Structure 1
Amino acid sequence: MNWDWHVIDEFMPRFWDGVLVTLQALLLGSLMAFTLGLVWAIAQRSNNKWINWPVTGITEFIRNTPLLVQLFFFFYVVPEWGPSMSPLTTGILALGLHYSTYTAEVYRAGINGVPVGQWEAATALSLSKTRTWTSVILPQAIRRVVPALGNYVVAMLKDSPMIATIGAFDMLGEAQAFSNETFTTEAITLVGVAFILIAYPASVLIRFLERRLVQQ
């Protein structure tokens, strides 16, 4: 097989379209996963069983269901009950919701790692629950779990090609479509390199943050 740069030139416009879709899914999905995961984690610590039990059940169900099934459910089943969403919006929702159940466990571990004395000190100072969480508990817990949260960003990047199954063509989706049309492999190779170039700096940043946080 001979490498053909003309094929790459022809593919590049579609490649950049795919990169944009990939980054949108990754960034917005991560934001949703981090935010909703924190909500799940706090809700699971509630003493109210009408909050704790349903949230635990929902997160367990989502975490133990394949992401691909969830993508199909949101794209094909949910519109039967309400408004439909674009493929990209559906992909972001599915990625964010799926990974929020994993980040919830990370947050929960960080919260459980805060010394009991910190809770007791907040109670002794008569701090409200909101003040205790925002000023005492969460700053310590989140600092502990930043590296683990970063690992899920990388994992989400590697799972993002699944959104092409519902029509949101990311880098790999565009490359597969282009390769099927032209019977070439250069586009697939380029996308493989692109994933490495995106994921490796993220991994290096995660290790850097981990070392910095350990030293503090």
Structure 2
Amino acid sequence: MNIWDWSYVWEALPYLYRGALVTVQATLLSFAIALVLGLIVALIRQSPNRYLCTFMAEIVEFIRSTPALLQVFFAYFVGPQFGIVIPAWTVGIGVLGIHYAAYCSEVYRSGIENVDGGQWEACTALNLSRLRTWRAIILPQAIPPIVPALGNYFVGLFKETPILAAIAILEMLQQAKNFGGNHYRYIEAITMAGFFYLVFSLAASAIVQAVSFWLNRRYHLQ
């Protein structure tokens, strides 16, 4: 038996294409949630209310300390026992987004705390509103340096989408597995899936580097 058969590659491509669309959509939507929610959490943790900050910090630690797969199982399988029935796609996107929002919030927080304290004093002296201080002074300095770290989580999220197969979402790796099971031939489909993961990860890394370079030049941080 041949180790590699190109005819199986061509047969597997429709499976991989359908799975790749789901994988990319899940990655982009989940990461969009993670970026927005992570920033909101980071801003809340800058609140002068000590109790609110502590409460939010505990939530972040709880989410980071439990596996994303467990969170997906809990939302999808345990939720209905309490009358909370959510479609699989919504559960998958929402849980991955919230899970990575916890990590992104820490990245945002490190960038915010790295801004020189004198910037706050200058904004106060100029009588700038808190909203304008955040929007025009603090965030433009805090975000560009942390883009590479956020990019790492973007790539990590992409590689973690196979957990969606646990709730019957046919992402790319599951489609490759299904093809292998239907044809009793796994090597071509699994190898092609791995190749796509590699190409996407390298492309995403290059895009993150380009965005980081552009932001640093725009805000004169280099």
TM-score norm. by structure 2 comes to 0.91
Instruction: Tell me which residue corresponds to 1:100.
Output: 101
Q: Counterpart of 1:135 in structure 2: which amino acid? A: A
**Counterpart for residue 14 of structure 1:** 15
Q: Distance in 2 between matches of 1:124 and 1:81?
A: 53
Q: Hey, what does 2:58 align to over in structure 1?
A: 57
Distance, in Å, in 2 between the alignment partners of 1:18 and 1:84 is: 25
The one-letter code matched in structure 2 to 1:88 is W
Q: Which residue of structure 2 aligns with residue 207 of structure 1?
A: 209
Q: Distance in 2 between matches of 1:18 and 1:82?
A: 31
**1:197 pairs with one of 196, 199, 208:** 199
In the alignment, the residues of structure 2 paired with residue 193 and residue 96 of structure 1 have an alpha-carbon distance, to the nearest angstrom, of 25
2:163: which partner in 1? 162
| Separation in structure 2 between the aligned mates of residue 85 and residue 23 of structure 1, nearest angstrom | 21
Paired position in structure 2 for 1:28 = 29
Match for residue 135 of structure 1?
136
- CA offset digits 1:154-204 (Å, max 9, x no partner): 011111111111111111011112212221121111101111111111122
Q: Distance in 1 between matches of 2:52 and 2:208?
A: 33
Q: CA deviation at 1:79?
A: 2.8
Q: Distance in 1 between matches of 2:19 and 2:167?
A: 14
Question: Would you identify which runs of 4 or more consecutive aligned residues in structure 1 move more than 6 Å?
Answer: none
Contact 2:144 2:212 (8 Å CA) reproduced? no
Letter in 2 for 1:51: L
| CA distance in structure 2 between the partners assigned to 1:78 and 1:163 by the alignment | 17
Gaps of 5+ in 1: none
- Structure 1 vs Structure 2 CA RMSD: 1.6
Q: Helix, strand or coil for the counterpart of 2:3?
A: coil
The Cα of 1:51 is off from its aligned counterpart by 1.9
Q: Scaled by the length of structure 1, what TM-score is found?
A: 0.93
Residues 77-156 of structure 1 mapped to structure 2, 5 A cutoff:
77-156=78-157
How much has 1:82 moved relative to structure 2? 4.1
Letter in 1 for 2:50: K
Gaps of 5+ in 2: none
Structure 2 letter corresponding to 1:47: P
Aligned residue pairs, count = 216
- Percent identical among aligned pairs is 43
Counterpart position of 2:42: 41
Q: Deviations over 1:108-130 (max 9, x none)?
A: 01000111111001111111111
Tell me by how many angstroms 1:3 deviates. 1.9
Distance 2:213 2:131 in 1: 30
Residue 89 of structure 1 deviates from its aligned partner by: 1.8
Range with bigger deviation, 4-13 or 115-124: 4-13
Distance between the aligned counterparts of 1:52 and 1:146, measured in 2? 24
CA shift digits 1:80-120 (9 cap, x unpaired): 33442222221111111111111001000100011111100
